[in-house]
């Protein structure tokens, strides 16, 4: 039975473009995610269309109508354009054929909308709206699956994932984004074919992982990656968190704890005008990875307990290594690894309290990551012991309060020595080189320990330090100069 949507649900740009193609003698349909999102009541930022027009014919139709055009996807039958703030892609009907050993599809143009829909990843993305009539084309039951909350492929799941193994990660991402469940055939195919993800480029895997981690229910998506074996291929450090336990050496389930920390960290993100606007990949990924050093550092103690000494440092290295393998940029790698490295630092405060200098170091070490570190540290409390949870929360409230007080007094976020490099060189009579850096580090340490010193006190301490640390030949010259000045 034909189903037609109300035109009021679509922007006029969609109908205008459809009419232009029909007037030129071609078919045009809105397809994929934008159609799915219409039924979910969501706004899709991009618009994807499919047509029986070739790339040259598409260019002819949109000439003079679009605000801008680009042909970077022309070899795959795709013409991109911008109109009234929308990013639009129009792709010629396709019938792809994949080389089993290749990362890229071999593209062949098709002549049927139904055949084009069959090659798409999941039934809920294999729906189309013919334009400008708004007739719904749903040959594979996408609406039914969407209402049932089930993720299913138009054809055999094994064929779909063999054609493009990245669809397996996309399945986990849709679970995280839409809260749907995997059809048993889809889940079985993912388990059976997980190793095939290895033929996909690290960059494509990375991009899907970012979307998954930033999804509303990231915990569900990560759990799918682990349960199907995909994480063994792309995030083995997370799979390894499922540590075996026994009745003699009990400890918290590190894997479930990490998923809970991820969930809690996402809940602590701020609004768009806050210090950590969500979704924040750096915070969320650090939350997921914060304990990945535990499997390598686990030790069974004689008294029956379990220790994970230095798992923060080991975890930071493992995290950086994995992110490099996934081709993340250096800034993101450094940020996530640094949070992992620092996530245990607070517990010393909770146990014994800190001096002002220790608070300054905490702020200085966190740097621009301080607000994320606050949230990561709070998220790391998953104990069921209410009294312990309240004690830790109170301690961190106290630490944040002290940071605020010190920051108001000393501008902690921009701690610098009381003398800069030029002043150090002038005072000591030295040229740029390692000695300037050593002197600067000494003054910074004094600043951390005792707060603002003032230039006069900083100069006094620097002169004393210089007598002990300058090279022998310079020390002799200094003494000779001082002796000459006395006479």
What 8-state DSSP symbol labels residue 277? B
Nearest to 419 by CA among 400, 395, 446, 393: 446
Domain 1-142 class? alpha beta
Q: Which of 320, 286, 4, 234 is nearest to 131 (CA)?
A: 4
Distances (CA, A) of 192 to 103, 150, 388: 19, 20, 43
What is the signed CA dihedral for 468, 474, 480, 486, rounded to 10 degrees? -60
Q: Smallest Cα–Cα separation from 298: which of 310, 280, 313, 290?
A: 310
Contact yes or no for 175/221 (Cβ under 8 A): yes
Q: Are 127 and 136 in contact (CB under 8 A)?
A: yes
Which helix (H) or strand (E) segment holds residue 68: the answer is strand 68-70
- Cβ atoms of residues 378 and 269 within 8 Å: no
Phi and psi angles of residue 167, each rounded to the nearest 5 degrees, phi first: -60, -25
> What is the rounded CA–CA span in Å between residue 20 and residue 14?
10
CATH code given to domain 149-234: 1.10.110.30
State the DSSP code for 109.
B
Which CB contacts under 8 angstroms, 24+ apart, belong to 334-339?
335/282, 335/286, 335/369, 335/372, 336/282, 336/285, 336/286, 336/289, 338/366, 338/369, 339/282, 339/283, 339/286, 339/290, 339/369, 339/372, 339/373, 339/376
Tally Cβ neighbours within 10 Å of residue 426: 10
- Count Cβ atoms below 10 Å from residue 415 Cβ, excluding itself: 19
Print pLDDT tens along the chain (487 aa). 345 455 567 889 999 999 999 999 999 999 999 999 988 888 777 799 999 999 999 999 999 999 999 998 888 899 999 998 899 999 999 875 555 665 555 667 778 899 999 989 999 999 999 999 999 999 999 999 999 999 999 999 999 999 899 999 999 999 999 999 999 999 999 999 999 999 999 999 999 999 999 999 999 999 999 999 999 999 999 999 997 654 444 556 899 999 999 999 999 999 999 999 999 999 999 999 999 999 999 888 777 778 888 999 999 999 999 999 999 999 999 999 999 999 998 887 766 678 888 888 888 899 899 999 999 999 999 888 888 888 888 888 888 888 888 877 666 555 678 888 888 888 888 888 888 888 888 888 888 778 788 889 888 988 888 888 876 555 444 444 444 444 4
Cα–Cα distances in angstroms (integers) from residue 444 to residues 354, 416, 425, 460, in the given order: 19, 6, 16, 14
SS (H, E, C) 150-190: EECCCCCHHHHHHHCCHHHHHHHHHHHHHCCEECHHHHHHH
Residue 370 · residue 360 · CB < 8 Å = no
389 Cβ contact list (under 8 Å, min separation 6)? 381, 383
Where along the chain do the CATH 1.10.110.30 domains lie?
149-234
Owner of token pair 């996934």: 326
Are 135 and 5 spatial neighbours (Cβ–Cβ below 8 Å)? no
Q: How far apart are CA 355 and CA 33, in angstroms?
A: 55
CATH 3.30.460.10 occupies which residues in the chain? Answer: 1-142
Cut 0.85: pTM above it: no
Tell me how far apart the alpha carbons of residues 129 and 270 are, in angstroms, rounded to a whole number: 37
Q: Nearest-CA neighbor of 165 among 256, 104, 89, 87?
A: 104
Count of CB atoms situated within 10 Å of the CB of 432: 10
Q: Give the whole-angstrom CA distance, residue 292 versus residue 237.
A: 6
């Amino acid at each position: 039975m034909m189903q037609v949507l109300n035109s009021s649900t679509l922007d006029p740009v969609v109908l205008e473009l459809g009419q232009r193609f029909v007037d030129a003698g071609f078919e045009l349909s809105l397809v994929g995610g934008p159609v799915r999102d219409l039924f979910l009541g969501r706004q899709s930022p991009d618009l994807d269309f499919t047509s029986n027009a070739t790339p040259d014919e598409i260019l002819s139709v949109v000439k003079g109508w679009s605000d801008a055009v680009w042909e970077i996807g022309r070899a795959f039958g795709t013409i991109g354009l911008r109109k009234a703030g929308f990013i639009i892609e129009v792709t010629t009907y396709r019938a792809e054929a994949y080389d089993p050993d290749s990362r890229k599809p071999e593209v062949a143009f098709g002549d049927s909308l139904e055949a084009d829909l069959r090659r798409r990843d999941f039934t809920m993305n294999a729906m189309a709206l013919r334009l400008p009539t708004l007739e719904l084309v749903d040959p594979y039951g996408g609406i039914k699956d969407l209402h049932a909350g089930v993720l299913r492929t138009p054809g055999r799941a094994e064929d779909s994932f063999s054609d493009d193994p990245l669809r397996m990660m996309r399945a986990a991402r849709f679970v995280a984004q839409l809260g749907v469940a995997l059809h048993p055939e889809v889940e079985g195919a993912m388990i059976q074919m997980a190793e095939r993800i290895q033929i996909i480029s690290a960059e494509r895997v990375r991009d899907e992982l970012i979307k998954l981690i930033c999804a509303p229910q990231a915990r569900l998506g990560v759990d799918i990656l682990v349960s199907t074996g995909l994480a063994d291929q792309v995030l083995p450090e997370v799979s390894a968190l499922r540590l075996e336990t026994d009745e003699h050496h009990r400890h918290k389930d590190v894997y479930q704890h990490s998923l809970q920390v991820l969930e809690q960290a996402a809940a602590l993100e701020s609004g768009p005008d806050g210090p950590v606007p969500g979704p924040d990949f750096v915070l969320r990924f650090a939350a997921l990875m914060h304990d990945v050093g535990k499997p390598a550092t686990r030790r069974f103690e004689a008294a029956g307990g379990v220790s994970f000494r230095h798992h923060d440092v080991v975890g930071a290295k493992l995290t950086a290594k994995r992110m490099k393998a996934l081709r993340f940029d250096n800034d993101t790698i450094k940020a996530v690894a640094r949070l992992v490295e620092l996530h245990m630092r607070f517990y010393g405060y909770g146990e014994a309290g800190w001096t002002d200098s220790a608070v300054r170091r905490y702020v200085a070490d966190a740097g621009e990551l301080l607000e994320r570190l606050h949230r990561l540290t709070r998220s790391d409390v998953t104990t069921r012991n209410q009294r312990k949870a309240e004690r830790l929360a109170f301690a961190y409230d106290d630490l944040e309060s002290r940071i605020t007080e010190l920051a108001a007094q000393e501008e902690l976020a921009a701690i610098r020595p009381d003398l800069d490099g030029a002043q150090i060189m002038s005072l000591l009579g030295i040229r740029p080189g390692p000695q300037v850096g050593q002197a600067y580090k000494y003054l910074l340490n004094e600043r951390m320990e005792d707060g603002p010193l003032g230039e006069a006190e900083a100069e006094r301490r620097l002169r004393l330090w210089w007598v002990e640390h300058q090279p022998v030949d310079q020390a002799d010259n200094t003494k000779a100069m001082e002796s000459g000045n006395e006479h």
